[in-house]
Chains A and B, each alone.
Chain A
Amino acid sequence: MYSNTKKSKYSMSGTIASVTIVALVIILMWAGVFAIYMARV
């Protein structure tokens, strides 16, 4: 029986850290180009 609360026997901390890095790349790239935009308007 599938259970939503079933825990993996392995740590999945790397997945959380990896998707956080993805989020940071998105935010930094966006913020960097937005800063250029603000400097030019």
Chain B
Amino acid sequence: MEQAKHIGLRENVISKLGVNPQDAIIALTYFTISFATLLIGGLLGLIQGLERAGLYSLPAGFNYYQVLSAHGLLLLVVFTATFTIGYQLANLSHSFNGLLPKVRKMIWVGIVLKVIGVVLAVTMIVLGEASVLYTFYPPLAAHPIFYIGLVLLVLGIWSVAFGVFINYRHWRKENPGQPTPILAFFAMGVFVLWFFASLGVTIEVFMIIPWVLGWVETINVMVTRTLFWWFGHTLVNIWYLVATSAWYIIVPKIVGGKHFNEKLIRLVVILLVVLNIPGGFHHQIIDPAISLSIKFLHVFMSLSIAVPSLMTAFAMFYVLEKAGRKKGGKGLFGWFKKLPWGDVRFLAPMIAMIAFIPGGAGGIVNTSNQMNQVVHNTMWVVGHFHVTVGVSVVLTFFGICYWLIPHLSKRQLTAKMNKVGVIQTWIWTIGMTIMAGSMHLAGLVGDPRRTSDTTYAGHETALSWLPYEYVFATGATLLLIGVIIQVYAVFNMMFFAPKGKTEYPVAEPEDDQPKVPMWTERWGLWAIVLLAVVAMAYVIPIVDMIVNAPPGSPPIKTW
């Protein structure tokens, strides 16, 4: 009880502090890069959707795979990463009453490295030297500069991650015996996971660079694919962890409630960090050279992510029902109507959470061995990640913008801008429902993904996919309209909205909550457990792939 009061007071004090102006500039810089990238990446998404449906022909010199590579890299890596960093740094600054000066320097170095890295990688794609898609796995080989760009991108993220670790350690030292503010705890989880996730792709890239430079003749394709998915799958769950920080802590405040038991929230963060990386193997269920028992182990480990996800579903329904009933909601679902549906800060993350129900269910299908045979390499998979990343994550990010950006720029969220946000959210939701829904259906009838021309010389089955592809294009058109509105809203709130104060909506815990367990703060231990889980999942298959290596592959350029 005493500690609950103290935490309540602490959250109250924190909510008055706001974000340090120097840190606000850093976060806004990240958001500027993020939403500029969203605009370009979103446009490329529509172009490749129209091209695939046969409704548009790319200008000479450009090809479908080139546009798809840029779309994937810009949105899945750059947009999401830059938004995440900006948001997490704002949360840390808010929680810790400002970042340390040396940490700010590390973050600026990180920004410069990331921008140079992205410019190098994207330039190679534009020049037609790196149409290797977002996954870039061998034997497809891009220009060496593409991979050097990726190295700089990872170094930029590490620079920020180490800065966050230093700041966390400093705060713990200055506040002995105190649990870290919950948003800072989430930030630690995000950067710990990011660091360990990026180890896999870093090793992969350092295998690829000598290969594309011609220093070694062949590469072990299986090992590089495996290392990619160590990173690739975890990346998606990093965004999910970022989104859950807003669901657990921001949404309850906006609906006029309190956040759920902090012990459970911290346990969810730890489980998502520790269990995540081995999920990568379910992307390789169809791959040869991995034994059935290893695949079974990975299916089991991938499904383990469902546990913290279902804990989150229960906790959020509880918080929302309690808030709705306080406002007079009656009956089984009367509380649902009492939620603030006209407030974009709630509407966007709420739709994001609802989308995670089919998104998560689809993930369980993908992870199940037999079902994966049905959907593997079909448009189902594309639909799945457009629901999970494109709605559950991205709509949460959009919702965050409507309070965080005016807070950072010392401006107000006006009623007009709130309305713009509500309209944008519905356009996005309808667009994504149409597009991702039809992608799921098309995948079930066999429409392949990552394929420019799917007419197969006019075969009857292939032609049956065309109507679905027209629907993709319709949804993608709505999504581009949504992107344009969102980018307008972000820059309006950054530079043109009326000056004023906007709340940083951090929910407080309930009055009778138990003591926050200090064992949750043992990040060194969680890192060791994470490594043990990764070792259990990866050592045997990777050793097997090396000892019983298939013939290596020379670099191949298919475009």
Measured CB to CB, the residues of A under 8 A from B are 1-2, 6, 8, 10-15, 17-19, 21-22, 25-26, 29-30, 33-34, 36-37, 40
Q: Tell me whether A37 and B322 are in contact (CB under 8 A).
A: no
Q: Tell me whether A25 and B358 are in contact (CB under 8 A).
A: yes
Stretch touching chain A among B193-201, B329-337, B389-397, B419-427: B329-337
Q: Tell me whether B317 and A26 are in contact (CB under 8 A).
A: no
| Chain A interface helix/strand/loop/mixed | helix
* Other-chain contact of B326, A1, A10, A33 (Cβ < 8 Å): A10
* Other-chain contact of B313, A2, A22, A30, A40 (Cβ < 8 Å): A22
Q: Chain A residues with Cβ under 8 A from B357's Cβ?
A: 21-22, 25-26
Stretch touching chain A among B23-31, B238-246, B370-378: B370-378
Shortest Cβ distance from residue A12 to the other chain B in the assembled complex, whole angstroms: 6
B374-413: CB near A (< 8 Å → 1, else 0) gives 1100000000000000000000000000000000000000
Stretch touching chain A among B44-52, B282-290, B361-369, B479-487: B361-369
Please name the residue on chain A nearest to B324 by beta carbon.
A14
Q: Known contacts A10-B326, A13-B332: does B364 contact A30 (CB below 8 Å)? A: yes
Q: Tell me whether B333 and A34 are in contact (CB under 8 A).
A: no
Please name the residue on chain A nearest to B370 by beta carbon.
A37
* Other-chain contact of B314, A19, A25, A33 (Cβ < 8 Å): A19
Shortest Cβ distance from residue B354 to the other chain A in the assembled complex, whole angstroms: 10
Q: Tell me whether A17 and B332 are in contact (CB under 8 A).
A: yes
**Sampled A-B contacts (20; CB under 8 Å):** A2-B512, A10-B322, A10-B325, A12-B322, A14-B317, A14-B324, A17-B332, A18-B313, A19-B313, A19-B314, A22-B310, A25-B358, A26-B357, A26-B361, A29-B364, A29-B365, A33-B365, A33-B444, A36-B444, A37-B373
Q: Known contacts A2-B1, A29-B362: does B317 contact A15 (CB below 8 Å)? A: yes
CA–CA, A18 and B335, complex, Å: 12
Q: Chain A residues with Cβ under 8 A from B360's Cβ?
A: 26
Q: Tell me whether A12 and B358 are in contact (CB under 8 A).
A: no
Q: Tell me whether B322 and A30 are in contact (CB under 8 A).
A: no
B514 interface contact, C-beta 8 A: yes
Q: Tell me whether B375 and A33 are in contact (CB under 8 A).
A: yes
Q: Tell me whether B317 and A2 are in contact (CB under 8 A).
A: no
CA–CA, A26 and B365, complex, Å: 9
CA–CA, A6 and B314, complex, Å: 18
Q: Tell me whether B321 and A29 are in contact (CB under 8 A).
A: no
Q: Known contacts A25-B357, A25-B361: does B371 contact A37 (CB below 8 Å)? A: yes
CA–CA, A26 and B303, complex, Å: 12
Q: Chain B residues with Cβ under 8 A from A8's Cβ?
A: 322
Given contacts A14-B317, A21-B357, A22-B313, 11 further A-B contacts (CB under 8 A): A2-B513, A8-B322, A14-B324, A18-B321, A19-B313, A26-B357, A29-B361, A29-B364, A33-B375, A36-B444, A37-B373
B495 interface contact, C-beta 8 A: no
Measured CB to CB, the residues of B under 8 A from A are 1, 310, 313-314, 317-318, 321-322, 324-326, 332-333, 335-336, 357-358, 360-362, 364-365, 368, 370-371, 373-375, 444, 512-514
CA–CA, A3 and B321, complex, Å: 21
The number of A-B residue pairs with CB atoms under 8 Å apart is 72
Shortest Cβ distance from residue A33 to the other chain B in the assembled complex, whole angstroms: 5
Q: Chain A residues with Cβ under 8 A from B375's Cβ?
A: 33
Q: Tell me whether A40 and B362 are in contact (CB under 8 A).
A: no
CA–CA, A5 and B362, complex, Å: 36
Q: Known contacts A15-B317, A15-B318: does B358 contact A33 (CB below 8 Å)? A: no
CA–CA, A35 and B361, complex, Å: 15
Q: Chain A residues with Cβ under 8 A from B336's Cβ?
A: 14
A-B interface, 4 closest residue pairs, ranked by CB to CB distance from nearest: A10-B325, A29-B361, A18-B317, A15-B317
CA–CA, A17 and B335, complex, Å: 12
Q: Chain A residues with Cβ under 8 A from B321's Cβ?
A: 10, 12, 14-15, 18
CA–CA, A13 and B375, complex, Å: 36
Q: Known contacts A6-B512, A14-B336, A19-B310: does B368 contact A30 (CB below 8 Å)? A: yes
Q: Chain A residues with Cβ under 8 A from B318's Cβ?
A: 12, 15
Shortest Cβ distance from residue B335 to the other chain A in the assembled complex, whole angstroms: 6
Please name the residue on chain A nearest to B325 by beta carbon.
A10
Shortest Cβ distance from residue B196 to the other chain A in the assembled complex, whole angstroms: 28
Q: Known contacts A2-B513, A33-B371: does B333 contact A14 (CB below 8 Å)? A: yes
CA–CA, A8 and B319, complex, Å: 12
Q: Tell me whether B326 and A15 are in contact (CB under 8 A).
A: no
CA–CA, A12 and B333, complex, Å: 10
